[in-house]
Structure 1
Amino acid sequence: QMDGVMGLQGWQWLYIIEGIPAIALGLLTPILMTDRPRDAKWLEADERNWLTATMDAELAAKSQSGKHNFMAGLKDKRTLVYSALYFGLVCGIYGLGLWMPTIVAALGKFSTAEVGFIVFIPYAVAAVFVYFWSKRADRTGKRAWHASVSMVLAGVGLVAAGYLLPVNPFLAMVGLTLSAMGIYGAIAPFLSMPSAALTGAAAASGLALVNSLGNLGGFISPYAVGLLKDATGSNQSGLLFLSLCLCITAVATYLYARRRPEGDASLDPAVAAAAAVDPAKVS
């Protein structure tokens, strides 16, 4: 409906409208957010004091384990492992975008607005799931378990969507919704693990490396899916590959992190130090 307005085409308006919120938030972030809890005016005084004391205790506990400068984060073995694991997760994420247009087209002929509402469904359900799943991961401290279960759910959902499409497009949409729940439900507990493993400047550089190397999966996986489709003549082979990426990553994540402090908060000495500050506020 915006096509032709101010001499711009519809796709150009799409980019502009999507970019405006990011620009607005970028301008507001330095004003609304603070670098330190003690400067956060939107927290009560006792909350600021508790959070400052807790972070100091966690930093003191982690500082005993080694260097935490910028280069240490890039060289840390854990950073490289989580980069490889995130690569597998991102490869699987591509499957959601790959299969969505095919399933929506199979549901029937819809207007552009109707297609937008249909595509919204998996993401809306996933958003609700992510909220409660992330809270559960925080409450239990079982980050590795929650991330792994989510990835398995995503892999199963992708396979279900692919193989149910010829049978019933609506069931295929259910499978795709499960996949969206799993994919987005895995991201928060997964990325919280390298965040918990590293501290100081090492955390900043380490997380940047995990995201940079991991997101290469979004570049490589389309080529792999294309090669498989050309070789087999079927989209299902590509979905099986992406599902396999997710399931292998889920198993590897669980085996690597389940007995590590960042994968299970109950094993983290920093958690014990925070509990000593105020046991009532540490779950």
Structure 2
Amino acid sequence: MGVLAETATGRAIDKGAGRLVGKTALVTGGSRGIGRGIAERLGREGARVAVHYGSNGSAAEETVAAIEAAGGEALAIGQELGVPGDAAALWKAFDTAVGGDGGLDILVNNAGITSPKPFGTLAEEYDRVFAINTKAPFFLAQLGAERLRDGGRIINVSTGLSKAALMPELIAYSMSKAALDLFTRDLSKVLGPRRITVNAVAPGIVDTDINADWLRGDDKAWAGAAALSALGGVGSPAEIADVVAFLASDDARWVTGHWIDATGGSMV
């Protein structure tokens, strides 16, 4: 039996029993919210985790410290997404930070932004939403494919809103994620011969900092959000991260091209 350590979320890890020992993962937007939950979860499974951040380096370092405190291995990589040359620059930083052959086993495209202006979204905002939510994952996967080892994993973080108009004020965001869903489906065929699986995980409303202003501290808002779920609750980063960890493991080796509803039954 391995040595037990505890994560920032209070979960124990058996350092000798991780399903991802020997694997290297990159999680975009891994410094906060769902991304941090995913990074910590993969770290608990034994993966070496590259925690990407766009601007908040201190949050990324906190995530790295939490993974290391639990007995894992992690490093922070900063690169703004949604700008020209972002994917190439991120991979260059990854290669430098990881060293060795720069090989990769798991790519999690989690970074994303919203634009809460229904049909009044400005062209500049629209372009930025698609640049980060859709274009960046496409080129990160394209340029990352040469680093991704055969039998690897690509996991795209989508949304339940790509399947239902539960929040029409997020129309541009939902459109960008719907495109990501189609990318997931078709890329699974492209990379399938290499036994690389490509799947999308779709969260619903999750208790993260990005939702804090309207969700936390407002009992009515919380109750309304919970009522959308068949399970009667608001999601947590850990619950989404557990689904990602499954897809990253060998247990999911026969699952690809799939959109997985992780909304707590909000789509039922």
Query: Which bracket does the TM-score occupy, shorter chain normalised?
Result: under 0.3
TM-score normalized with structure 1 length: 0.25
Determine which structure has the larger strand proportion and give its number.
2
Larger Rg: 1
The structure whose RCO (Cα within 8 Å, separation 6+) is larger is 1
**TM-score (norm: length of structure 2):** 0.26
